[in-house]
Structure 1
Amino acid sequence: MLKQLLLIMVLICIAPVSYAEDSTADPKYAGIEITVNINTASAQELADLLTGIGIKKAEAIVEYRQEHGKFDSAESLTKVKGIGPSLVSKNQSRIQL
């Protein structure tokens, strides 16, 4: 009986947490594909649209692009200091050339 009561209490406590996780996606963005052209976007656009890219890294991307020319692939972003393969992989579907 005590085990059943404990199980019921645990399930009651977990249920709101699991429901809250499902509701974090904003339905107004459902079906919208976010993309950004890394060869033309401003630093602010890069920071706003790429996951894990703040304004400092976005400024570094723009600076690198100005010094070395356009990026020829998404993977070439790894040439920018502070941007590794995992960050590029995380944003692969958002990056355009």
Structure 2
Amino acid sequence: MKAIALTLKTLILALCLAGASQAAPTAGTVNINTADAATLDRLLDGVGPSKAQAIITYRKANGPFRSAADLAKVKGIGEATVKRNAARISVGARPATPAAAKKVPAR
């Protein structure tokens, strides 16, 4: 009888841990300027495959997003979706603008 109870407790614990691992992927951040459609779909709440593809299409046509708020410019993505995902969205480091190269006179 104790063996059955121990087996049931182990099974319940395993199921709880499995459920927690399914919820964990949304805890990460995603760089909306570099992520592929599958990653956007997986990590952003309220973004499915078609909206993820729309994000990539917009990014290719208009260049990188400057802020998370720019994501609302994508058709099908509203401000509520951006707010809901604000903690998950990253735009990455902006590349440094190269300083004008100084010309060194030839000697």
TM-score (norm 2): 0.62
Q: 2:64 aligns with which of 70, 77, 89?
A: 70
Residue 47 of structure 1 pairs with residue 41 of structure 2:
yes
Q: Percent identity?
A: 48
1:34 is matched with 28
Gap runs ≥5 in structure 1: 1-22
**Cα RMSD between the aligned structures?**
2.1
Query: In the TM superposition, what is the alpha-carbon distance from 1:26 to its structure 2 partner?
Result: 1.2
Gap runs ≥5 in structure 2: 1-15, 92-107
User: C-alpha deviations, 1:53-95, integer Å up to 9, x for none?
Assistant: 0000000000000000000000001110011100000000000
TM-score (norm 1): 0.68
Query: In the TM superposition, what is the alpha-carbon distance from 1:48 to its structure 2 partner?
Result: 0.6
Q: Which has the higher helix share?
A: 1
- Where has structure 1 moved over 4 Å in runs of 4 or more? 27-30
Q: 1:84 aligns with which of 58, 61, 78?
A: 78
Structure whose CA Rg is larger: 2
